[in-house]
Chains A and B, each alone.
Chain A
Amino acid sequence: MVNIGFQIVHFVITILFFIFLVATNAVIMVYLERKVMALMQDRVGPKHYGPFGSLQSTYDVLKLLLKEIVRSRETDNAIFMLAPMIFFAPVLTAFVMLPFSPFMTTSALGTGILLYVALSSLDVIGVFMAGWGSNSKYSLIGGLRSTAQMISYELPLLLSLVGVVMLTSFVSHNGIGSISFTDIINAQMHPWWLWFVLLQPLGLIIYYTCGLAETNRAPFDLPEAESELVAGYLTEYSGMQWAMFFLGEYGNMLIVSSVATALFLGGWSGPGADLAFWHAHVTANPGGIFSVADLIFNVIAVFWFLVKVYALQGIFIWVRTTLPRLRADQLMQYAWLILIPMTLLNILVTAVLLLAVPQPYTLWVTGGVNFLLLIGYIILLTRAIGASPKGTLPPWVEARKRAARTGLGAPGLPKPPAASLPPGEPEPAASR
C-alpha cells in the first residue's frame, strides 16, 4: 500500500534522526574520549561542568560558535571556504543507505556498499582542498600525507568487504547475493546469531584497521601529528570551520562503526528484536499503518544497533590510548604490502572453501579456516613491526650485529667506529 503522506513523515523522521545522531554523537564522543582516556591514564579528565563534567563538550561547542574565524591573508578563499562542506557532505550523505532498523532507513538502495566506498573516497577531496587552499607549509604536507593515507587504505577496505558479499551469495536460497545493507543484515538472521564476524573475523579486523586509517585516528593520525606537523591540514582553520572538520571526523567514526555493525555484527539482531514475536503478542493497532508491535520492534532494533556501534566506537578510544603512532613509510607499506595481499588471500580462500566443502559443513569450515587466517595475520603483523618484546634487541646492538655480518655500517649512517669489533666484546674505554 502506497501512502505518500506516511512516506513523507517517515522520511522526515529518519533524516532528523540521522542529523541529530551525527550532532550529538560528536558531543558525546568528545566527552567520552576525554573521560575514558583520562581514566585509562590515571587522570581525572573534565570535571567542572555538569555531573562528572558531562556538559564540558556542550560548552566547547558554544565557545567555538563565539570564536573569530581567522583567515590567513594568503589563503585561496574559495577553496578554503568550500573544504569543510566538501568534507562534511559525504559524511552526512553516507547515512542514507544505513539501516538502523527496518523503519529507520532513508532509502532502500540496492548499491549500499559501493555507494559507501564512493562517498568515503569523496572525503579525500575535502581534505586535499583544505591542505591546498590554506597555502601554508604544514597544511600542504598534512593534506598530502592524509590524501595518500586515505586512498591507500581505501583499497583493503573495499577488498575486505568482498568476503561478506560472497557469503550473502552462499547463504541466500537462490544463489544471488546482495550489496544492500538491509539485505546483508537480513542474511545474518537465519539463526539470529549467524553474524558474519563468526565467518569472516579477518575481514572485520582488516576493515576496522582501514576504518581507523580512513578517519585519521590514532595510530594512523600522522596528518595531525602535533609533534611534526602542528595540526596537518587543520592548521589554518579556526572556530566553527575547524569544528566542521571535527564533526565530519566523528561522523566518519560513526559510519565506520555502523557499517561494521551492519556487515559483520548482525545489524539490529539481538534478544527481543523479533518482529514475528511482537506481532503475535501485541495486537493493539490504533488505526494507523504503523502498529504498536512495529513500534516496539523498531525501538529494540535501534537500541541493539546503537549498543553495537558504541561498543565499536569505544574500541576507537581504547586503540588510541594503547598504540603509538606509526611512521609515514610504515603506514604506506602496511596498507600496500600487508593488508592488500592479505585481503586478496582472504577472498580466494573464502571462495574456494565455500565452493569446495560439501553442504552441512561449509560455514563451519569457512569460519574455522578464517580464524586460522586471522592468527596467521597477527603473527605476520608482530613479525613485520617487531612488536614482540621477546627476541628484540636494542637498535644499536642490531646495528652492530648487522655491521659485523656484512662488514658495512648501517645504511644511511656513517660507519660507526665500533663496527670492526666482534660482537660481544666490551666497549673500548672512552678515555683519551
Chain B
Amino acid sequence: MAPFVPILIMMGLAFAFVVLVTIVTFILGPKKPTPQKNAPYECGISEITPPQRRFPIKYLVTGMLFIIFDIEAASLVPMAVLMKRLGVTGLIELVTFIAILLVAFLYVWRKGAFTWE
C-alpha cells in the first residue's frame, strides 16, 4: 500500500470518530438551554466588556520567530542524515549554518524579543 494512503485514512477516521461521538452525545444528552447557562463564562456575573480585545504583540513576534527558526531547524535534519558522508566539509557547513543562526538569535535577544513583561 502506498505509504501516504494510511495518513489520509487515519485522518478521515479521526474526523469521523469525533463527528460520531458529537452526534451521539447530541442525541443522548438533555437540551435545556437557559439564558444564564448560555452566557459566556464570567465567574457568575454578567459580562461587562466584550471578549474580543487587543492582545500583546509578543504573541505575534513569537509566531514569526517560530516560522523562521522552524525552517532552519528542519533544514538541519537532511544535513544530519548524511553527516558521516559529508565528513569535515559537512562539519564546516554545519558550524557556519549554526553561526548564522546564532547571529539572528543574538539579534532578536538583544532586541528584547525574549523578555516578557
Contacts and interface: CB of A to CB of B under 8 A. Distances in A.
Interface in B59-76: 59, 62-63, 65-66, 69-70, 73-74, 76
A333 B116 contact: yes
Contacts of B30: 68
Given A85-B19, A162-B77, A351-B94, A337 B1 contact: no
A169 B83 contact: yes
Interface in B8-54: 9-11, 13-15, 17-19, 21-22, 24-26, 28-33, 37-43, 51-53
A80 B41 CA distance: 15
Given A155-B73, A230-B41, A175 B10 contact: no
A328 B83 contact: no
A107 B101 contact: no
B24 to A, nearest CB: 7
25 contacts: A11-B6, A19-B13, A66-B25, A69-B25, A70-B33, A70-B37, A72-B39, A84-B18, A88-B14, A92-B17, A117-B74, A137-B40, A137-B51, A151-B63, A168-B81, A175-B84, A240-B21, A241-B22, A329-B116, A332-B62, A336-B109, A344-B102, A347-B94, A347-B98, A351-B94
B85 interface: yes
Contact of A348 (B13, B24, B94): B94
B116 A239 contact: no
A69 B4 CA distance: 36
Interface string A138-182: 111100100110011011001100110110111010011111000
Contact of B117 (A69, A172, A243, A329): A329
A148 B114 contact: no
B103 interface: no
B60 to A, nearest CB: 10
A154 B91 contact: no
B6 A107 contact: yes
A355 B85 CA distance: 10
A111 to B, nearest CB: 9
Interface in A50-77: 64-74
Contacts, number: 226
A348 B80 contact: no
A113 interface: yes
B98 A89 contact: no
Q: Which of B30, B58, B77 has the most CB of A within 10 A?
A: B77
B76 to A, nearest CB: 5
Contacts of B94: 347-348, 351
Given A154-B66, A176-B82, 17 more contacts: A15-B10, A89-B11, A95-B10, A96-B10, A106-B10, A109-B4, A110-B3, A136-B40, A176-B81, A176-B85, A230-B43, A243-B21, A333-B114, A347-B94, A347-B98, A351-B94, A352-B91
Contacts of A110: 3
A202 to B, nearest CB: 16
A85 B18 contact: yes
Interface string A76-119: 00000100110011111101100000000011111001110100
Dominant secondary structure at the B interface: helix
Q: Which of A89, A138, A332 has the most CB of B within 10 A?
A: A89
A65 B21 CA distance: 8
A186 interface: no
Contacts of B55: 140-141, 144
A34 B58 CA distance: 36
A170 B83 contact: yes
Contacts of A179: 77, 81
B77 A169 contact: no
Contacts of A244: 18, 21-22
A7 interface: yes
B109 A152 contact: no
Contact of A155 (B3, B4, B69): B69
B11 A93 contact: yes
A96 B25 contact: no
Contacts of A72: 38-41
A354 interface: yes
Contacts of B62: 148, 151-152, 332
A177 B81 contact: yes
A88 B84 contact: no
Contact of B40 (A74, A95, A333): A74
